[in-house]
Amino acid sequence: MSTVTIATGTIERQISDVRIRHWLLDALTVSSGSIDSISFLGLGKVFTAFMTGNVAFLGMGIAGNPVPRIVSVLASMAGFAVGIYFATRITSSDKQKSGVTWSPRTTFALGVSLLAHLCFVAIWFATSGRPGASAVPILLAVWALAMGLQSGAVRKLHVEGIFTTAATGTFIVLASDLVNWGLTRDERRRYRGVLISLVIGATAGAYLFFHAPIFAPVLPLVITAGVAVTAARVQWSSDAPAA
């Protein structure tokens, strides 16, 4: 087998892996969009991924606004921070190799986030999708923990302008590109994909909450599990010698 053939196979594999990575990031954005939609509608108008909104809610609560409850906002923010902490600890020991498009530790951190998703679904089912006031902060903290783990895991990939739990950074990149049109076609498509995925996720989450609330949190669980499994399979394939 010639060196040129091996190099060509390696380049083609890397291009394919990058394309798959973008699909997986879009899928994670759909998941976080649905989570924020469900948590806002069903858990006292508090976000579990969009921390900017929660910080604003915290300020309004301090000013005397009774909705949302400060304890719920703080529970979500604390859960998210803990998730970021653990994701950073998990991924910090990973030695990123040249040409690798998805870190194995990123997949592992997403796998850990599935435990938080499962915990949320278990509590949600136990309360028949109608959690009481005492259960709401627990659910917010658990789901925010999952979102923090996801955010910290994706951060390890170093994909500029892509945040699967917030759209502000991506929106800034796209809007600023209107000045000099500096992004490539693929980059613009990638950023648009994140924003569209967030809308799709929020729409799907709201639809499920209104029409089948008991099953609403199953959607992000299934999506995140699918991303973790797909990423693991891609990594195993990439570890195999190029044909």
Distance CA 200, CA 194 (A): 10
Q: Give the CA distances from residue 4 to residues 1, 13, 35, 97, in Å, rounded to whole numbers and listed in that order.
A: 8, 14, 47, 22
Q: Give the CA distances from residue 183 to residues 68, 100, 171, 196, in Å, rounded to whole numbers and listed in that order.
A: 39, 23, 13, 18
Please report, as a single letter, which amino acid is at residue 85.
Answer: Y
Convert the pLDDT of each residue in 46-96 to its tens digit.
999 999 999 999 999 999 988 899 999 999 999 999 999 999 999 987 565
Convert the pLDDT of each residue in 151-206 to its tens digit.
999 988 888 778 888 888 888 888 888 887 888 788 888 889 999 999 999 999 99
Convert the pLDDT of each residue in 225-240 to its tens digit.
999 999 998 877 665 5
pLDDT band at 8, cuts 50/70/90? very low
Q: Which CATH number fits domain 3-239: 1.10.10, 1.20.1250, 1.25.40, 3.10.20?
A: 1.20.1250
